[in-house]
Amino acid sequence: MAKIEISGISKAYTKDVPVLKDLDLTIQSGEMFFLLGPSGCGKSTLLRILAGLVKPDAGIIRFDGEDVTEVPPEKRRAAMVFQNYALWPHLNLFENVAFGLRCLGVKGGELINKVMEALELVRLQDFAKRRPASLSGGQQQRVALARALAVDPPLLLLDEPLSNLDARLRDAMRVEIRRICRLRKLTALYVTHDRQEALSLADRAAVMDNGVIRQMGTPEMLYDFPADRFCAEFLGDVNLIPGRVEQRNLISALGNFNLSHPCRNGNAVGAIRPERLRILPENAPDVPCSFGATITDRTYLGESCLWRCRTALAEVEVRESAGPARKIGDRIRLSFDPEFLLVFPE
Ligand code: ADP
Ligand code: MG
């Protein structure tokens, strides 16, 4: 494991079309760091630059303080796990995992020990003689992980590793990847466009858009206190309330709401996550942060229920853990804790 420092990295594959723009990022030793962003924002490019497979136009990469920007991939030894596993179909699992070690000159008993240890880590030690084609997608991805870990890399790079798996397997593999990273105290950079994956696994994450990092922080910070509207919408559902900020109030068609955080005066959009809205009776007395609404639709989700409500402004969504009986057409009040009203200048 190593501390990874990325400073001032820029990359354009074609002139005048920048893919990464002067990017700075530090990943602490042993940290599981996530890059979260829409398709095409430059995530894979940054991973390839870290692995040494793509040369940046500008900037410096350091592993534990050592400048590795010009170091070729095989000497950097950052291990990569891809979405499509990239296993060799004609080799059995043992040989797939052994490949990188052989390239490093490991042989004999040491080779056998390291391969079997890696296969044990992903719980596939009994499958060493099998070919990849005889395994499920999840098992193949575990082989790819074992192959990456066998060489004891300073940095593990994961590029959307679970995208090809179905939802149930994805959940199981998430837990597995986290267990292995913690056990081995790995420094890992994990790229995904799936916010659930990032929020559930990351020590810290960065939200990327169009070659720049918009915000960096813990999952809780990113979700509850997004830096801008893009981050708010990328990390989860939000209800938007257009309006205007004056003297620390959001003036909107739903009412005037006192802001708990300072915000500059002018046009702005308020944002509240659906689970931060509470449903009260229509005639609830004197609730400061609240507005009237009518229930128009219900989506039952088992552990929670999603209510769509008509307001003076637009439809809003409210997520409520399963509970009270309500019906379409009910008149209600929706209230919120001012701390969770986010406001972004427009
Ligand atoms: P992400 O992984 O976030 O989806 P990528 O890093 O793969 O994004 O791609 C970022 C941008 O760079 C995209 O517009 C993509 O088309 C372009 N791109 C990626 N690889 C190459 C390449 N080898 N040559 C030219 N353009 C590329
Ligand atoms: Mg990609």
User: Could you report the per-residue pLDDT of 238-279, keeping only the tens digit for each?
Assistant: 999 999 999 999 999 999 999 988 889 999 999 999 999 999
Decide: 141 in ligand 1 pocket, CB within 6 A.
no
Last residue of a domain, one of 206, 230, 254: 230
For 19-33, the pLDDT digits (tens) are 999 999 999 999 999
Instruction: Check whether residue 16 and residue 47 sit in a common domain.
Output: yes
Instruction: Check whether residue 54 and residue 185 sit in a common domain.
Output: yes
> What pLDDT band is residue 195 in, cutting at 50, 70 and 90?
very high
Q: Given this model, what pLDDT does residue 158 score?
A: 95
Instruction: Check whether residue 177 and residue 271 sit in a common domain.
Output: no
pLDDT mean over 41-62: 96
> What pLDDT band is residue 186 in, cutting at 50, 70 and 90?
very high
How far away, in angstroms, is 185 Cα from ligand 2 center? 25
**Residue 47 alpha carbon, nearest atom of ligand 1:** 6
How far away, in angstroms, is 104 Cα from ligand 1 center? 30
How far away, in angstroms, is 193 Cα from ligand 2 center? 9
Q: Given this model, what pLDDT does residue 168 score?
A: 83
Decide: 41 in ligand 1 pocket, CB within 6 A.
yes
pLDDT surpassing 90 at residue 176: no
Q: Given this model, what pLDDT does residue 74 score?
A: 87
pLDDT surpassing 90 at residue 308: yes
Residues with CB under 5 A from ligand 2 (ion): 44
Instruction: Check whether residue 90 and residue 174 sit in a common domain.
Output: yes
> What pLDDT band is residue 85 in, cutting at 50, 70 and 90?
confident
Instruction: Check whether residue 199 and residue 252 sit in a common domain.
Output: no
Q: Given this model, what pLDDT does residue 173 score?
A: 86
**Residue 46 alpha carbon, nearest atom of ligand 1:** 6
Instruction: Check whether residue 214 and residue 337 sit in a common domain.
Output: no
Last residue of a domain, one of 196, 230, 264: 230
Instruction: Check whether residue 254 and residue 226 sit in a common domain.
Output: no
Instruction: Check whether residue 265 and residue 285 sit in a common domain.
Output: yes
Instruction: Check whether residue 252 and residue 341 sit in a common domain.
Output: yes
> What pLDDT band is residue 95 in, cutting at 50, 70 and 90?
very high
Kindly give the pairing relationship between strand 4-14 and strand 17-27. antiparallel
Last residue of a domain, one of 208, 230, 252: 230
Q: How far is the C-alpha of 330 from the C-alpha of 274, rounded, in Å? A: 18
pTM for the predicted model, two decimal places: 0.90
Edge to edge, what strands does the sheet with 290-300 contain? Answer: 278-281, 331-335, 290-300, 304-310, 315-321
Instruction: Check whether residue 150 and residue 247 sit in a common domain.
Output: no
At 82, which CATH number?
Answer: 3.40.50.300
Full residue range of the structural domain in which residue 201 is found: 4-230
For 153-170, the pLDDT digits (tens) are 989 999 999 988 888 888
Instruction: Report the 3 state secondary structure along the chain.
Output: CCCEEEEEEEEEEECCEEEEEEEEEEECCCCEEEEECCCCCCHHHHHHHHHCCCCCCEEEEEECCEECCCCCHHHHCCEEECCCCCCCCCCCHHHHHHHHHHHCCCCHHHHHHHHHHHHHHCCCHHHCCCCHHHCCHHHHHHHHHHHHHHCCCCCEEEECCCCCCCHHHHHHHHHHHHHHHHHCCCCEEEEECCHHHHHHHCCEEEEEECCEEEEEECHHHHHHCCCCHHHHHHHCCCEEEEEEEECCEEEECCEEEECCCCCCCEEEEEEECHHHCEEEECCCCCCCCEEEEEEEEEEECCCEEEEEEECCCCEEEEEEECCCCCCCCCEEEEECCHHHCEEEEC
pLDDT surpassing 90 at residue 205: yes
Percent of the chain scored above 90 by pLDDT? 79
Lowest mean pLDDT: which of 28-42, 170-184, 191-205, 241-255? 170-184
How many structural domains does the chain have?
A: 2
Q: Given this model, what pLDDT does residue 238 score?
A: 96
Instruction: Check whether residue 301 and residue 195 sit in a common domain.
Output: no
Q: Given this model, what pLDDT does residue 189 score?
A: 97
Instruction: Check whether residue 182 and residue 281 sit in a common domain.
Output: no
pLDDT mean over 111-118: 95
At 301, which CATH number?
Answer: 2.40.50.140
Decide: 239 in ligand 1 pocket, CB within 6 A.
no
Q: Given this model, what pLDDT does residue 39 score?
A: 93
pLDDT surpassing 90 at residue 303: no
**Residue 44 alpha carbon, nearest atom of ligand 1:** 2
pLDDT mean over 99-123: 93
Residue 43 vs residue 122, higher pLDDT:
43
> What pLDDT band is residue 120 in, cutting at 50, 70 and 90?
very high
Q: Given this model, what pLDDT does residue 166 score?
A: 85
